[in-house]
Structure 1
Amino acid sequence: MSKLIDNTHNRYRENIERLLIGTDIVFNGDRPWDIRVYNAELYQRILTQGSLGLGEAYMDEWWDCHQLDELFNKICQAQLENKVIVDPQTFINRVLGCLNNHQSRQRAPEHIKWHYDIGNDLYQAMLDKRLTYSCGYWPKAKNLDEAQEHKFDLICRKLNLQPGQKILDIGCGWGSFMKFAVEHYRVSCVGVTLSAEQVALGKLLCKDLPIDIRLADYRELDETFDHVISIGMFEHVGYKNYAEYMKVANRCLKDGGLFLLHTIGSSKSRISVDAWMGKYIFPGSMLPSLKQISKAAEGQFVIEDVHNFGADYDKTLMAWFANFADNWQMIIANYDHRFYLMWKYYLLSCAGAFRARDNQLWQLVLAKTGVPGGYTSVR
Structure 2
Amino acid sequence: MTDAAPRLAALAETLLGAPLPVRIRAWDASEAGPPGAPVLVFRHRRALRRLLWKPGELGLARAWVAGDLTIDGDLYEALGLLSGLLWERPKPATAPARGAVRRAALRDLLALAGPWLLPPRPPAEEAPHRSGTQHTRSRDRQAIRHHYDVGNEFYQLVLGPSMVYSCAFWQPGGTLEQAQHDKLDLVCRKLALAEGDRLLDVGCGWGSMALHAARAYGAKVTGVTLSREQALYARKRVAEEGLADRVEIRVQDYRDVKDGPYDAISSIGMAEHVGTDRYREYAGLLHALLRPGGRLLNHQIARRPEPDETAYRADRFIDAYVFPDGELSPLGSTVGELERAGFEVRDVESLREHYGLTLRAWVSRLEEAWEDAVRLSSPGRARVWRLYMAASALGFEHARLGVNQVLAVRAAPGGTSGLPLRTRTWPAA
Change (3 A) 1:273 1:183: same
Residues 32 and 8 of structure 1, relative CA distance in 2, 3 Å threshold: closer
Paired with 2:292 and 2:88, the residues of 1 have a C-alpha distance of 46
Residues 235 and 32 of structure 1: CA distance in aligned 2, closer, same or farther (over 3 Å): farther
1:80 is aligned to 88
Residue 77 of structure 2 aligns with an amino acid whose one-letter code is: E
Matched, 1:170 2:178: no
Structure 2 counterpart of 1:193: 225
CA contact (8 A) 2:42 2:68 kept: no
Q: What secondary structure, in the 3-state scheme, does the structure 1 residue paired with 2:138 have?
A: coil
Q: Who is 2:122 aligned against?
A: none
SS at match of 2:162: coil
Question: How far 1:279 moved relative to its partner?
Answer: 0.6
**How far did residue 61 of structure 1 move?**
2.6
> Matched residues in 2 for 1:141 and 1:189: separation?
32
Residue 200 of structure 2 aligns to a residue in which SS?
A: strand
- What does 1:36-115 align with in structure 2 at a 5 Å threshold? 36-38=41-43, 42=48, 45=51, 49-59=55-65, 60-76=67-83, 79-81=87-89, 101-115=133-147
Alpha-carbon offset, residue 141 of structure 1: 5.6
Q: Distance in 2 between matches of 1:213 and 1:76?
A: 41
Residue identity in the other structure for 2:56: G
Q: Deviations over 1:88-113 (max 9, x none)?
A: xxxxxxxx99x954222121000001
**Structure 1 residues 66 and 242 mapped into 2: Cα distance closer, same or farther (>3 Å)?**
same
Q: Which residue identity lines up with residue 279 of structure 2 in the other structure?
A: Y
Q: Which amino acid aligns with 1:365?
A: L
Q: How does 1:245-256 map to 2 (within 5 A)?
A: 245-256=282-293
* Structure 1 stretch displaced more, 67-76 or 117-126: 67-76
Question: Does structure 2 conserve the Cα–Cα contact (< 8 Å) formed by 1:305 and 1:375?
Answer: no
> How far does the alpha carbon of each residue in 1:244-280 deviate from its partner, in whole angstroms, 9 at most, with x for none?
1001110111111210000111012753421111111
State the match for 1:238 in structure 2: 275
Q: How does 1:1-379 map to 2 (within 5 A)?
A: 10-16=10-16, 18=18, 25=22, 27=24, 28-31=33-36, 33=38, 35-38=40-43, 42=48, 45=51, 49-59=55-65, 60-76=67-83, 79-81=87-89, 101-140=133-172, 142-207=174-239, 208-209=242-243, 210-222=246-258, 223-268=260-305, 271-299=312-340, 300-369=342-411, 371=417, 376-378=423-425
Between the aligned residues of both structures, percent identity stands at 28
Deviation at 1:139, TM superposition (A): 2.7
| 1:43-98 deviation line (CA, Å, top 9, x unaligned) | 9927952111122222233341422223334444785357699xxxxxxxxxx99x
Q: Which amino acid aligns with 2:248?
A: D
Structure 1: segments with no counterpart, 5+ residues: 86-95
- Whether the 8 Å contact between 2:50 and 2:60 is mirrored in structure 1 is no
- Whether contact under 8 Å (1:76, 1:353) holds in the other structure is no
CA distance in 2 between partners of 1:355 and 1:115 (Å)? 24
Q: Distance between the aligned counterparts of 2:138 and 2:19, measured in 1?
A: 42
How many residues are treated as equivalent by the alignment?
A: 364
- Corresponding residue of 1:93: none
Deviation at 1:9, TM superposition (A): 6.8
Q: What's the CA shift for 1:320?
A: 1.0
Q: Which amino acid aligns with 1:66?
A: G
- Cross-structure match for 2:112: none
Q: Give the TM-score normalised by the residue count of structure 2.
A: 0.76
1 CA distance for matches of 2:70 and 2:274? 34
Per-residue deviation, 1:151: 0.5
Aligned-pair CA distance for 1:342? 2.0
CA distance in 2, matches of 1:357, 1:104: 31
Q: Give yes or no for contact 1:178–1:211 (8 Å, CA) kept in 2.
A: yes
Structure 1 pair 263–76 and aligned structure 2 pair: CA distance change class (3 A): farther
More displaced, 201-210 or 40-49? Answer: 40-49
> Structure 1 residue 184: deviation in Å?
1.1
Specify whether residues 82 and 365 from structure 1 end up closer, same or farther in structure 2 by C-alpha distance, changes over 3 A only.
farther
CA distance in 1 between counterparts of 2:81 and 2:297 reads: 33
Query: Hey, what's the Cα distance between the residues in 1 that align with 2:191 and 2:364?
Result: 32
Give the TM-score of the pair, scaled to structure 1.
0.85
CA distance in 2, matches of 1:141, 1:273: 35
